[in-house]
Amino acid sequence: MSKFLKAAVLGHPIDHSLSPRLHRHWLKFYKMEGSYEAVETLPEKLAETLNRLQDDGYAGVNLTVPLKEKALALMDDIDPIAARIGAVNTVTFREGKKQGWNTDAYGFVQNLESLGYRIQNSRKAVVLGAGGAARAIIAGLLDVGVKRIVLSNRSREKAEELVKSLAPASDPQALKPVSWTDRHISLADADLVINTTSLGMQGQPELDIYLDRLPVTGLVVDIVYNPLQTPLLYAARQRGNLTVDGLGMLIFQGQKAFEHFFGKLPPVTEALRQEMRV
């Protein structure tokens, strides 16, 4: 008899999460008997909820805002990448143990590679923002061998903290902070620009940045996926830059999470991308 498979995404708020749609698509694709739900979870209920789902036989859960950092302390084992990033977005329950993973760096890198970009050839990447998403993306960029990353964040202190914890000891120059005021000029000779701030998201102001200095060959990536067409991406396309929206990273972080839960790395198809857009 095959076992009924269960997974979920926890967060607060969780109503608009796209993860159930994503994982249900793959469960259906494999004709697996299983479920994937969204469970509203306040930070103070995280430990209790993880224990309950573990006891209920769940394969694992995804975590989103505001639980990713808090989860670290609740794991029995932490994958080295999750430890480096300082956040857990995927938990598996195996042999009575909670194991914490982070698939966001993978999601970012894999998405660009699937679109044909060779990020490792990037000569200068500019990352805007220094939150959890920035930490994952910077770890991913460093791991594929990007030699020059410039980080600009509104709060300088947070950018410096991030640089301190992620800059490689073997090449401390690889990751440098620049002031938020200098974000515009930092775009000169960049071939990759990534918005990891929440600016441009529905209900948020747009990211205020002049693209004049950015080479027209530079790729502009926005990890915001609500809406997919952000003012930043629109402005970048208007001046001839290629752009990548936030949907792919979301799909690919889920792809790796699905593999952690159920042991299969599911395909990312055009049909899935379309289904996720509606």
Please identify every residue annotated as catalytic.
68
Please answer whether residues 41 and 11 qualify as being in contact, where contact means their C-beta atoms are separated by less than 8 angstroms.
yes
| DSSP-based three-state secondary structure for 146 | coil
Closer residue to ligand ATR in complex, CB, 20/131: 131
Q: Does residue number 200 form part of the binding site for ligand ATR (CB under 6 A)?
A: no
Interface residue with ligand ATR among 198, 226, 235, 259 (CB under 6 A) is: 198
Closer residue to ligand ATR in complex, CB, 26/225: 225
Closer residue to ligand ATR in complex, CB, 54/103: 103
Q: Longest C-alpha distance within the chain, in Å? A: 62
In whole angstroms, give the CA distance from residue 150 to residue 190. Answer: 9
Closest C-alpha among 217, 226, 229, 198 to residue 128: 198
Q: Segment 130-149, which members bind ligand ATR (CB under 6 A)? A: 130-134
Site string for ligand ATR, 231-250 (x = CB under 6 A): --------------------
Closer residue to ligand ATR in complex, CB, 60/200: 200
State the DSSP code for 176.
E
Interface residue with ligand ATR among 34, 129, 248, 254 (CB under 6 A) is: 129
Closer residue to ligand ATR in complex, CB, 166/272: 166
Residue type, 52: R
Dihedral sign for Cα 168, 215, 223, 103, please. negative
Degrees, nearest 5: CA angle 26-69-141:
70
* Structural Rg of the chain based on CA atoms: 19
Q: Does residue number 90 form part of the binding site for ligand ATR (CB under 6 A)?
A: no
Stretch of residues binding ligand ATR (CB under 6 A), selected from 125-133, 213-221, 240-248, 256-264: 125-133
Q: How far is CA 260 from the centre of its chain?
A: 16
Stretch of residues binding ligand ATR (CB under 6 A), selected from 17-25, 123-131, 247-255, 261-269: 123-131
Comparing every residue's Cβ against ligand ATR, the nearest one is 131
Interface residue with ligand ATR among 12, 154, 176, 184 (CB under 6 A) is: 154
Number of residues this chain uses to bind ligand ATR (CB under 6 A): 15
Dihedral sign for Cα 83, 85, 86, 87, please. negative
Closer residue to ligand ATR in complex, CB, 194/272: 194
In whole angstroms, give the CA distance from residue 178 to residue 259. Answer: 37
Interface residue with ligand ATR among 54, 153, 230, 241 (CB under 6 A) is: 153
Integer CA distances (angstroms), 191 to 8, 146, 243, in order: 37, 11, 12
Interface residue with ligand ATR among 21, 24, 158, 176 (CB under 6 A) is: 158
In whole angstroms, give the CA distance from residue 130 to residue 93. Answer: 30
Give me the residues that bind ligand ATR (CB under 6 A), please: 129-134, 153-155, 158, 196-199, 205
